[in-house]
């Protein structure tokens, strides 16, 4: 792997809560530094990741998952999804693997792990999970995504949703069968069209973005974003990662808290510099 002139430096925090209605937490979040120890994954309970600063010359990976299946299956699926993704990313990318292919491999491994666990009687026979992962490497941000957890980015005061919900309601919206207003209370708003562990194959949405200093990312479950507005997310992300997580979770809880709610906020202090791509014949041997 080519050397970079500037390492990455980010500050981050995370928070996950059960909410007022559910009796257990099927959301999980975690992170790993590609050239450090880990991964770190939250337990299946209410949890706060205290604000910290992480630096890396290779990169960092963050992930959020929301399990489905009930009776313990959901929390098993989401935990496996996050663990498989972070572990595979660390092994592959620390060894020089390319990020897009690594993300697809990681999601495939997570998918297979959940399917195997269901067959072996761990969790539930129909357990599955959403999964959204953010890989930050020098000068770049890479996303892997399946389901309806989300990744947002705040840049220069503007908020952008970087993922597309894989849900029946989103499909109906894309086909202009329903309006955004109808989507809010549509009975199929929680029905997924893609999940990790739901089929023998998984179609992973992969995206690449430029990474700038002061970019702020939010990874969250639908129990969070479905209860707050884009303007509220943008305003919260102007605060410190810890304060942003608390603000967003408090808003979700204050509006019913009928689902587990999870937020992970990552602010880029130093974006690093993307290595220059090999040119000409050197590309064949890089």
- Torsion on CA atoms 203, 77, 22, 248, rounded to nearest 10: -60
Residue 237 in this model has a pLDDT that exceeds 70: yes
Interval 201-225 mean pLDDT: 97
- What percent of the chain lies above the pLDDT cut of 70? 87
Give the pLDDT of residue 91: 94
Taking the C-alpha atoms of residue 63 and residue 134, their distance in angstroms, rounded to an integer, is: 6
What's 189's domain CATH number? Answer: 3.60.40.10
Interval 55-71 mean pLDDT: 90
Residue 286 in this model has a pLDDT that exceeds 90: no
- What percent of the chain lies above the pLDDT cut of 90? 76
Helix (H, G, I), strand (E, B) or coil at 51: strand
- Confidence band of 187 (pLDDT split at 50, 70, 90): low
- Confidence band of 6 (pLDDT split at 50, 70, 90): low
Buried b (16+ CB within 10 A) or exposed e, 217-250: bbbbbbbbbbbbeeeebbbbbebebbebbbbbbb
Q: pLDDT digit string (tens) for 132-175?
A: 999 999 999 999 999 999 999 999 999 999 999 998 776 776 67
Closest Cα to residue 49, out of 68, 63, 67? 63
Domain that residue 71 falls in: 8-272
Q: Phi and psi (nearest 5°) for 62?
A: -125, 145
Give the pLDDT of residue 2: 43
Interval 249-275 mean pLDDT: 94
Q: Which residues pair with 15 in a beta bridge?
A: 48, 263
Interval 34-42 mean pLDDT: 89
Give the pLDDT of residue 1: 41
Give the pLDDT of residue 161: 97
Highest mean pLDDT among 2-16, 193-207, 263-277: 193-207
Residue 73 lies in a domain: yes
Token output for 201: 């194959």
Average pLDDT across the chain, whole number:
89
Interval 1-10 mean pLDDT: 64
Angle value at C-alpha 55, between 15 and 58, nearest 5 degrees: 110
Interval 215-242 mean pLDDT: 96
Give the pLDDT of residue 7: 83
Buried b (16+ CB within 10 A) or exposed e, 182-193: ebeebeebeebb
Q: pLDDT digit string (tens) for 91-122?
A: 999 989 999 999 999 999 999 999 999 999 88
Interval 64-78 mean pLDDT: 88
Q: Which residues pair with 168 in a beta bridge?
A: none
Token output for 162: 């970087």
Residue 236 lies in a domain: yes
Residue 286 lies in a domain: no
Q: pLDDT digit string (tens) for 199-211?
A: 999 999 999 999 9
Taking the C-alpha atoms of residue 169 and residue 78, their distance in angstroms, rounded to an integer, is: 22
Give the pLDDT of residue 5: 44
Taking the C-alpha atoms of residue 156 and residue 214, their distance in angstroms, rounded to an integer, is: 8
Task: Tally the domains of the chain.
Answer: 1
Give the pLDDT of residue 233: 98
Give the pLDDT of residue 181: 62
Interval 207-216 mean pLDDT: 97
Give the pLDDT of residue 3: 44
């Amino acid at each position: 792997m080519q050397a970079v002139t500037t390492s990455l430096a980010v500050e981050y925090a995370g928070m996950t809560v059960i909410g007022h209605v559910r009796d257990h937490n099927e959301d999980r979040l975690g992170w790993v530094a590609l050239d450090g120890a880990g991964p770190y994954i939250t337990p299946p309970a209410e949890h706060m990741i205290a604000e910290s600063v992480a630096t890396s010359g290779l990169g960092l990976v963050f992930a959020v998952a929301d399990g489905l299946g009930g009776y313990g299956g959901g929390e098993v699926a989401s935990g496996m999804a996050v663990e498989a993704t972070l572990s595979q990313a660390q092994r592959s990318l620390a060894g020089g693997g390319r990020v897009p292919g690594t993300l697809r491999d990681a999601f495939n491994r997570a998918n297979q792990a959940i399917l195997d666990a269901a067959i072996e009687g761990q969790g539930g026979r129909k357990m599955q999970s959403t999964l959204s992962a953010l890989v930050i490497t020098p000068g770049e941000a890479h996303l892997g995504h399946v389901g309806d957890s989300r990744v947002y980015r705040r840049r220069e005061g503007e908020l952008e949703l970087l993922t597309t919900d894989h849900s029946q309601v989103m499909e109906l919206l894309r086909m202009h069968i329903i309006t955004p207003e109808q989507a809010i209370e549509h009975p199929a708003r929680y029905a997924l069209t893609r999940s990790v562990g739901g089929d023998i194959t998984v179609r992973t949405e992969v995206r690449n973005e430029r990474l700038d200093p002061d970019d702020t990312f939010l990874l969250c479950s639908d129990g969070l974003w479905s209860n707050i507005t884009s303007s509220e997310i943008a305003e919260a992300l102007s605060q410190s990662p810890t304060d942003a997580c608390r603000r967003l979770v408090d808003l979700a809880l204050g509006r019913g808290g009928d689902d587990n709610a999870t937020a992970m906020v990552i602010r880029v202090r130093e974006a690093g510099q993307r290595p220059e791509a090999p040119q000409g014949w050197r590309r064949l041997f890089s």
